[in-house]
Structure 1
Amino acid sequence: MVWEPEIEELHRRQELARRMGGPEKVARQHANGRLTVRERIGKLLDAGTFREVGSLAGQARYADDGTLEDFTPANFLFGRGRLNGRPVIVGGDDFTVRGGAADAGIFQKQIMAEQMANELRLPIVRLIDGTGGGGSVKSYEAMGFTYVPFNPGWDWVVANLATVPVVSLALGPVAGLGSARAVSSHYSMIVKGTAQMFIAGPAVVARIGPSLDKEDLGGAAVHTRAGAIDDEVASEEEAFERTRRFLSYLPSSVHEAPPRGARRDDPARRDDSLLSAIPRDRKQVYKIRPVIETLVDQGSFFEMGRRHGRSLVTGFARLDGWPVALIATDPFVFGGAWDAAAAQKLIRFVDLAETFHLPVVHLVDVPGFAVGPEAEKSATIRHGARALAAVYQASVPWCSIILRRAFGVAGAGMMNHARLRYRYAWPSGDWGSLPMEGGIEVAYRAELEAAPDPAARMAEIQARLERMRSPFRTAEHFSVEEIIDPRETRSLLCEFANLAAPLRTPGLRGPAGYRP
């Protein structure tokens, strides 16, 4: 029992640390509709699995005789735990201690959390609730000098993007370096109503621009539509559940292949509703998400980024248990045309699939790039060309299903045509350099102007071209590999997933890695 006094002191200090900022600050956190960092970790991880690192780090006050009078823990907690049975690293800001400001923290803890995830090859979940940067200007007076800014541990943040799955949850006011941490991830969420994110908060912005409240400046609606944050959630509990689902599709690091999930759905399942999913009227839109849901394993589609680049639908799914990255277009938004935002969304998603070795399934109905003055002002063609580069640089197995349209440069971006064209088309397929409806007047202008009855001549030309439009004529020339009964699509996609599984090659992607 020689060391019993020290063990008692250890337990005392750990108990002081568990009090965080004290009862009053904890009550204020709850009154604002937010959990404390320890409650968050407890709800996110499997029960009883959290092993904290650095529990004794903080600011202590000692009496003249050297005994501890008070202790305030550092406002960043981290450690290891299990999530759905798999080991992960989790780190979170403690807003009850100086509002999560970095000048109340010990930045070495954040650095070690990132380094631990990287070197142990484990996913990292960031629970962000504070600035996490250099602190307020009051720190200058405390230090007695200013300093040239730097981002401690950012080398590990960048390295992790290329190595392990990174999830960031914006759970309260997030500003400065905290916002950079939030977006430097593979998947990010923000809690609607109780969390906001800013480069600088309303008080700073008001000095140089308009006076806005927290929601108008950096609420969930702002960032999910701009694409800075992937998804908004209604509660912290929903954020934790989506974190579990997101990570379930991915390996613990790029040095492994994504794990196969449960096989609860018949690969040969057929759905007669697919026969009428695509309207005969080419101008009529349809809902793409029900099509996705019936093709993939039941209940497995996990959509990400729904409010940004809305003409493009992206998410994870399973086929015969195998995880895949799925891309589709939503005809309800710009007719499915790719605008600048959709192109940016596609780049990031293809890079995510490439980083973690996920085969890609692309459900194609692309009328082309968005056109018009707004498309030109937003540099759509520049972003679109970058999206094509991402597609052509991808090396993961790729399968495209042409549901309806494939026109122009964007339509050609359905896959890298120089690779094996693992591709099928539905009988509703309609393709070309541009839609016939939009090009007849230009291509046949002289003939139409010379005709005694231009309307009759237009109808005659349309009827003639319509015969050329049949997808079966394209198949005769092997310009489309196979036309299929839509009800066969699921079985063919499951076959693709099983063929692709052994082709997934673990390892780092390349010198640049993944960029947020």
Structure 2
Amino acid sequence: MSWQPEIDELAHRRRLAARMGGDSKVERHKAAGKLTVRERIDALADPGSFREVGGLTGSGRYDSNGRLLDLVPSNLVMGRAQIGGRPAVLVGDDFTVRGGANEGAVGDKLIHAEKMAHDLRLPMIRLVDGTGGGGSVRNIEIKGHTLIPAMKVWQHVVANMSVVPVVSLALGSVAGMGAARVAASHYSVMVRETSQLFSEGPPSVVARVGEALSKNELGGSQIHTRNGVVDDEVGTEQEAFARARRFLSYLPSSVFELPPRGEPGDDPARRDEWLLSAIPRDSRADYKIRPIMQALVDAESCFEIGRHWGCAVITALARLDGWPVAVIASDPAFHGGSWDSDSAEKFTRFVDMAQAFHLPVVNLVDTAGFQVGLDAEKAGIMRYGVRALSALYQATVPWCSVILRRAYGVSAAAHQHMGRFNFRYAWPSANWGALPIEGGLDVAYKAEIEGADDPVQKRAEIELRVRSLTSPFRSAEAFVIEDIIDPRDTRALLCEFANLAAPLREAGISRFGIRP
């Protein structure tokens, strides 16, 4: 006698689970412009590669003879799939079943998914659409008692941040632990107008603080991609999936591997003539750093992260002669490239990710120091700034700095670790010091200027005299800078750096010490 009846029941249960929350709820979900969780997985994973784990979990309804009448599936779908030809763990909330909120099986499934990614050393991708955590007040009546918040999954969430790449896509309204899972990622994305993120939703906000706000007003992408909670925003779910796939392409599957080299497709010796005039001679003039950054790395390889926050610092993944690298660049168009607390925090987080996943760092420098003034002091710029310095000095990945123009103040001290060997170059436009001359003259020569018959003329004379000593060639004579280069040669030198750095990369878990 065969086990065909059980196999038939298995197929029946899988069909019931595939209905998700039922036709009406699925239609309502799609009418809101959102894909179902299973459509999302199909769109993100390589075709036909998803292997579900725990697909039979849910709440069954039985007749008096123990025969299954119906099944409400768990509102969390998880499993393994191929992403760009490499295995990964996918976990997605099903909003059509109780709005993606916690129910009996979800907690265990969340933990299982995070452990699976950790122990198999596979990237974790979270498709978040709901609270995904503590459930609702209704649970008090269901259980007959209240629970102390435990977040049993959190130890696994934290552990994964040190071991595997973690990507979270906020694809609807996410709150509570769902919001926390989005933030606990190496890379996160929100869909503009469709997804929102908050500690508690609008009804709770009204009840607790009296603010009547819509979901988007309270937690839309226009908020969280500007404060650093979420890295990027996109217009559609398909764009979110594409960005997730691209992000993972630069990283190893875990810290126990090295970032894979892409197929070199751009001449390492390529020279762009316009770079010779890319930096204006007027030291106060802005210029666009992104075209410079894109010209130096392999064509079409620049993947910027966190464009809308910490804007004095640009962070991107890219390739040099096919090798993945982490690129940091000052943006003089934002407060002259001076760091605020957000920029320092962005620098810290990005350096930590580069260190964790063994990415050599290229740093394009043009900074006048930390932002100054009352607002900067109130925002704690010095605390965030010294944390950024600590991240730099705890990093051991190969590092190359190119000083394009200014390198002043404490933030300029973060251009490289001064206690170990680094590659470093300067363009002819570079200049450096403890303070910019513009701000330092009036302090250093105050008495001489004020005592002159013509203070304006005296100040101009002093500035001309001091500036004559700031040529980078003077510093090169004293070996303050290792080499001054033609900007057009920068790409070739960076490709040399990437090729020399490649065999120096070491797999394994990175450990950071305490920071201020």
TM over 0.5: yes
| Map of 1:180 onto structure 2 | 180
| Map of 1:228 onto structure 2 | 229
Shift of 1:438: 1.3
| Map of 2:396 onto structure 1 | 395
| Map of 1:408 onto structure 2 | 409
| Map of 1:483 onto structure 2 | 484
- 1:411-470 superposed Cα distances (whole Å, 9 cap, x missing partner): 111011111131000000011111111111221111112222222222211211121011
Shift of 1:149: 1.4
Equivalence map 1:14-413=2 (5 Å): 14-103=14-103, 105-209=105-209, 210-413=211-414
Shift of 1:511: 7.2
Shifted more, 318-327 versus 460-469: the winner is 460-469
Q: What SS class does the counterpart of residue 223 from structure 2 fall into?
A: helix
CA distance in 1 between counterparts of 2:511 and 2:378 reads 33
CA distance in 2 between counterparts of 1:187 and 1:471 reads 38
Shifted more, 454-463 versus 304-313: the winner is 454-463
Structure 2 stretches of 5 or more lacking a match?
A: none
Q: What SS class does the counterpart of residue 453 from structure 2 fall into?
A: coil
CA distance in 2 between counterparts of 1:512 and 1:41 reads 38
Equivalence map 1:426-445=2 (5 Å): 426-445=427-446
CA distance in 2 between counterparts of 1:130 and 1:421 reads 46
CA distance in 2 between counterparts of 1:73 and 1:421 reads 55
Q: What SS class does the counterpart of residue 424 from structure 1 fall into?
A: strand
Answer whether contact 1:288 1:330 (CA < 8 A) is retained.
Answer: yes
Q: What SS class does the counterpart of residue 208 from structure 1 fall into?
A: helix
CA distance in 2 between counterparts of 1:99 and 1:177 reads 14
CA distance in 2 between counterparts of 1:165 and 1:345 reads 18
Shifted more, 393-402 versus 151-160: the winner is 151-160
Q: What SS class does the counterpart of residue 468 from structure 2 fall into?
A: helix
Tell me the TM-score normalised to structure 1 length: 0.98
Tell me the TM-score normalised to structure 2 length: 0.98
Answer whether contact 1:58 1:106 (CA < 8 A) is retained.
Answer: no
| Map of 1:501 onto structure 2 | 502
- 1:380-414 superposed Cα distances (whole Å, 9 cap, x missing partner): 01100100110111000000000000001111110
What's the RMSD between the two structures over aligned residues?
Answer: 1.2
Shift of 1:316: 0.3
Answer whether contact 1:123 1:252 (CA < 8 A) is retained.
Answer: yes
List 4+ stretches of structure 1 deviating above 4 A: 511-514
Answer whether contact 1:98 1:104 (CA < 8 A) is retained.
Answer: no
Answer whether contact 2:394 2:512 (CA < 8 A) is retained.
Answer: no
Q: How many residues align?
A: 514
> Quick one: which amino acid aligns to residue 111 of structure 1?
I
Structure 1 stretches of 5 or more lacking a match?
A: none
> Quick one: which amino acid aligns to residue 161 of structure 1?
M
| 1:336/1:474 CA distance change after superposition, 3 Å | same
Answer whether contact 2:316 2:328 (CA < 8 A) is retained.
Answer: yes
Answer whether contact 2:117 2:124 (CA < 8 A) is retained.
Answer: yes
Shifted more, 102-111 versus 442-451: the winner is 102-111
Q: What SS class does the counterpart of residue 226 from structure 1 fall into?
A: coil
Q: What SS class does the counterpart of residue 468 from structure 1 fall into?
A: coil
How much identity, in percent, do the aligned residues show? 58
CA distance in 2 between counterparts of 1:511 and 1:374 reads 30
Shift of 1:513: 11
CA distance in 2 between counterparts of 1:71 and 1:453 reads 90
Answer whether contact 1:75 1:104 (CA < 8 A) is retained.
Answer: no
> Quick one: which amino acid aligns to residue 138 of structure 1?
R
Answer whether contact 2:74 2:103 (CA < 8 A) is retained.
Answer: no
